[in-house]
Each structure stands twice: as C-alpha cells, then as structure tokens.
Amino acid sequence: MDIKKIEDLISSGNYVEAKKLIEGAFSKQMEDSEKGALYTNLASLYLDVTNSIEDKYIESLKNTAELLERINESESQIDSKIQLANAKASLNM
C-alpha cells in the first residue's frame, strides 16, 4: 500500500479515493507480517491526520480568542464613549 499516496489524497480532501486504496489493500491476500505492517502504517497515518486536525483546531481556537479579545476591547471603548456622552448630556440639562 502506498501510504504517501494516501496521505496526499487525504491532504487534498479526496477521502473517497483514499478509502478505496485502503480497502483495496485489505482485499488482497497477505501474510500476517504484511498485515501487521499495513496496520502499523495505517496507525501512523491515523496519528498524523489526528495531529494535523488538532493543530488546526488549536490554531482556530487561538484566532477565535484573539477575535474575542478585540471585540471586548471595542465593547469597552464603546461603553466608555456612551458613559462620557451620558455624563455630558446630564451636564447640559
């Protein structure tokens, strides 16, 4: 089984073709040692994909946290301006 090709297919989002390659590998007659190597390669691929997903998730969380911080800062500035406007309005009464 060509693990690199499967990795490339997964990276490009072509999951159907990747699945076909994996299924094709399991449909062939193999010795136990070949099956073991196949399972090891797939486990490694699974870990790589999982780590990649987790890295992107963490990056997304960081970006979201930064955005929320900017929103909070803007909200604070708006609140300050509203309080100032209210104070000025109460002095002009």
Give per-residue pLDDT as tens, 27-85.
Answer: 888 899 988 998 999 999 899 889 989 999 999 999 999 999 999 999 999 999 999 99
Q: 27, 25, 17, 18: which is closest to 49 by C-alpha?
A: 18
70: helix, strand or coil: helix
Q: What per-residue confidence (pLDDT) applies to 25?
A: 87
pLDDT of residue 78: 97
Q: What is the largest CA-CA distance in the chain?
A: 92
Could you give the CA distance from residue 80 to residue 86 in angstroms, rounded to a whole number? 10
Task: Judge residue 2's burial from the number of C-beta atoms within 10 Å of its C-beta, 0-12 exposed, 13-18 middle, 19 or more buried.
Answer: exposed
Tell me: pLDDT of 1 over 90: no
- The confidence score (pLDDT) of residue 20 equals 92
pTM for the predicted model, two decimal places: 0.63
